[in-house]
């Protein structure tokens, strides 16, 4: 089995331990004063971006489609929450579920065109649509606030930093299990089959475009949800959320973590964010050369661990199995 | 008496001005085991591509089960009951042998849109998958990654994938290409057994004349952009035109 989506017994135990640690973490950090609060915020962002990376990997790793425009759905989710809460006075419990829905509709529209193409042409078209959306949001001052973004998104009083962390963690856990279920389902096998051999898939009777579109929409919905969560964390939505550089983040995360595994992209995303913040803490000037660190890291991964961190881990600890 | 499952009518196809087929017509009777032969470049695989919807003819009709299928998508044609195995092995290499068969059964049953249960959870599908693997002799390799199988086994899996579609018409493009002599006859026996048991109409492309004249009921010869001859093996091997154009002095 190429795709590591079947956790062994030790995988389950590791998963439970990690979950418990993640749940207890903010209590521990909460006792560390200002620094602790900052790290709770960072951890929340890591959880949210992990979900974003996993959403992309539905199409990237499992579907074999390289999208350069995934931030479009992330951004749409963020702006949905910001607009609904700021301009229509929606409560968070209605605005947040709306984010994946609006993102899914957007993904259905963009995807309808994109899945007609494959390979590089697909990638370029996703990039074009992503940047188109970015430009619309950038220019439409009266509605989106243009390059100022939308600030001051309200936060329900009960959602302090720790509670919001827990909320995000619970949403992440549920999404993780749902994505895992999708990947292992008949639909998931269909998607992997298309990735493996698109032409042959047609000759076993698979309507390739239909399932690619559906997968694109599902991935867009999860991206929209993560965008909405980040918007509420930062209490603002800004055009940067839709920019192509935001689309690159989950691609890099999947590369570093391992795109043929379920948890790989989430791990990769968290590692990258942690490294960046850590360097920033060591010395402010380090942020300026973050790109160099990232470049070297990617070089090492591509050359020595093409299956990412998860693949590396499996090579070291499960050599006997392969 | 005539009950054609497939009928090719006045088919023509050109690529950038080079004509491959000029107005060819023939019918395949239900239950027939027939071969298509012809020199390299005669367009045998192109003919399969035209029949299965991978290519669209410039002119003519392809009638399958009474329906003109020209212009239909390949996956829709598959659903009508036409399956195909490929000349160059064409499987899902990083999936297991079992997964290759299971996804095909899932697609035939049109249950691709199930999101909740594991694909592996249906006992009936698994049972059927193992029956098919049994029939192509790969049951003991079900959990192997299919890309790691020996070439001959990959070709058998390709045939197994086509069989999992439970087709009425099966098109085999050089089913024994690249096999060792023993493997060749094993596979030929397999194909013949399957034809006997499953009552599928089979059309295959082959270069090996021993096989072609050994097992076919009907042989069709493609040459010079047209169907040069069509008939039982003994008739074809005695046909002067065929001998001159293609078979040479070997026969």
CATH entry 3.40.50.300 includes domain B4-247: yes
Nearest-CB residue to B92 (from A182, A193, A211): A193
Q: Do A193 and B84 touch (CB under 8 A)?
A: no
Q: Do A205 and B75 touch (CB under 8 A)?
A: yes
How many CA within 13 A on the CB side of residue A173?
13
pLDDT-based confidence at A319, cuts 50/70/90? low
Predicted confidence (pLDDT) at residue B1 exceeds the cutoff of 60: no
DSSP state of A152: -
Q: Do A208 and B75 touch (CB under 8 A)?
A: yes
Judge whether A196 is closer than 8 Å to chain B, CB to CB. yes
| Substitution target from A63, A185, A194, A306 for chain B, most B beta carbons within 10 A | A185
Q: Model confidence over A51-101: pLDDT tens digits?
A: 999 999 999 999 999 999 999 999 999 999 999 999 999 999 999 999 999
Predicted confidence (pLDDT) at residue B101 exceeds the cutoff of 60: yes
State the nearest Cα–Cα gap between A74 and chain B, in angstroms.
Answer: 23
Q: Do B75 and A206 touch (CB under 8 A)?
A: yes
Q: Which residue of A has its CA nearest to B100?
A: A193
pLDDT-based confidence at A210, cuts 50/70/90? very high
% of chain B with per-residue pLDDT over 70: 98
The pTM score is 0.91
State the nearest Cα–Cα gap between A98 and chain B, in angstroms.
Answer: 22
| Interface pTM, i.e. ipTM | 0.90
Q: Which residue of B has its CA nearest to A177?
A: B116
Rounded-to-10 torsion of CA A265, A267, A270, A273: -70
Q: Model confidence over A249-282: pLDDT tens digits?
A: 999 999 999 998 999 999 999 999 999 888 888 8
Phi, psi of B4 (to 5 degrees): -70, 135
Domain ranges of chain A: 9-244
Judge whether A197 is closer than 8 Å to chain B, CB to CB. yes
Predicted confidence (pLDDT) at residue A2 exceeds the cutoff of 70: no
Predicted confidence (pLDDT) at residue B251 exceeds the cutoff of 50: no
Report the pLDDT averaged over residues A272-297.
86
Chain B contact residues (CB < 8 Å to A): 52, 54, 73-75, 78-79, 83-84, 86, 90-96, 99, 102-104, 106-108, 111-119, 145, 161, 164-165
Enter the tokens of residue A27.
């209590």
Report the pLDDT averaged over residues B174-185.
88
Judge whether A182 is closer than 8 Å to chain B, CB to CB. yes
**Cα torsion B237, B243, B245, B250: sign:** positive
Report the pLDDT averaged over residues B11-21.
90
Rounded Cα gap, residues A192 and A206, in angstroms: 12
**CA gyration radius for chain A?**
19
User: What residues in A contact B94, CB-CB < 8 Å?
Assistant: 2, 196
């Amino acid at each position: 089995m190429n795709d590591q989506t079947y956790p062994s017994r030790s995988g389950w135990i590791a998963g439970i331990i990690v979950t418990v640690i993640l749940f207890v973490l903010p209590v521990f950090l909460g006792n560390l004063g200002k620094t602790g609060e900052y790290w709770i915020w960072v951890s929340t962002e890591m959880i949210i971006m992990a979900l974003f990376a996993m959403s992309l990997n539905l199409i990237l790793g499992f579907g074999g489609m390289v999208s350069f425009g995934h931030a479009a759905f992330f951004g749409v989710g963020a702006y949905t929450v910001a607009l609904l809460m700021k301009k229509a006075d929606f409560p968070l419990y209605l605005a947040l579920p709306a984010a994946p829905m609006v993102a899914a509709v957007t993904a259905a529209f963009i995807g309808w065109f994109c899945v007609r193409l494959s390979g590089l042409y697909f990638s370029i078209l996703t990039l074009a649509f992503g940047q188109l959306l970015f430009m619309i949001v950038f220019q439409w001052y009266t509605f989106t606030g243009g390059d100022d973004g939308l600030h001051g998104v309200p936060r329900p009083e009960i959602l302090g930093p720790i509670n919001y962390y827990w909320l995000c963690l619970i949403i992440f856990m549920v999404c993780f299990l749902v994505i895992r279920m999708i990947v292992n389902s008949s639909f998931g096998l269909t998607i992997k089959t298309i990735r493996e051999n698109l032409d042959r898939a047609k000759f076993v009777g698979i309507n390739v475009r239909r399932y690619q579109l559906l997968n694109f929409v599902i991935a867009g919905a999860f991206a929209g949800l993560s965008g909405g969560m980040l918007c509420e964390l930062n209490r603002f939505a800004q055009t940067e959320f839709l920019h192509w550089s935001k689309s690159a983040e989950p691609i890099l995360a999947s590369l570093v973590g391992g795109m043929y595994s379920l948890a790989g992209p989430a791990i990769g995303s968290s590692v990258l964010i942690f490294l960046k913040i850590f360097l920033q803490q060591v010395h402010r000037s380090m942020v300026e050369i973050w790109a160099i660190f990232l470049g070297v890291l990617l070089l090492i991964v591509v050359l020595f661990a093409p299956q990412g961190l998860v693949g590396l881990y499996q090579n070291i600890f499960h050599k006997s199995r392969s | 008496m005539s009950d054609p499952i497939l009928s090719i009518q006045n088919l023509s196809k050109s690529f950038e001005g080079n004509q491959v087929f000029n107005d060819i017509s023939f019918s395949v009777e239900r239950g027939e085991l027939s071969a298509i032969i012809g020199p390299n470049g005669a367009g045998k695989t192109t003919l399969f591509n035209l029949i299965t919807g991978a290519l669209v003819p410039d002119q003519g009709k392809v009638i399958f089960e009474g329906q003109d299928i020209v212009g239909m998508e390949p996956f829709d044609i598959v659903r009508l009951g036409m399956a195909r195995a490929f000349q160059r092995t064409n499987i899902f290499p990083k999936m297991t042998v079992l997964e290759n068969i299971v996804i095909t059964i899932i697609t035939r049953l049109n249950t691709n849109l199930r999101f909740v249960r594991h694909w592996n959870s249906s006992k009936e599908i698994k049972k059927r998958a193992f029956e098919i693997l049994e029939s192509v002799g790969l049951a003991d390799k079900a959990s192997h990654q299919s890309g790691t199988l020996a070439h001959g086994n990959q070709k058998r899996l390709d045939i197994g994938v086509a069989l999992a579609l439970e087709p009425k018409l099966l098109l085999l493009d050089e089913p024994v290409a690249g096999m060792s002599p023993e493997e060749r006859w094993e596979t030929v026996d397999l194909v013949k057994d399957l034809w006997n048991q499953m009552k599928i109409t089979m059309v295959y492309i082959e270069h090996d004349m021993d096989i072609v004249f050994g097992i076919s009921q009907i042989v069709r010869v493609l040459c010079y952009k047209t169907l040069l001859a069509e008939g039982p093996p003994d008739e074809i091997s005695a046909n002067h035109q065929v001998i001159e154009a293609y078979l040479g002095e070997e026969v």
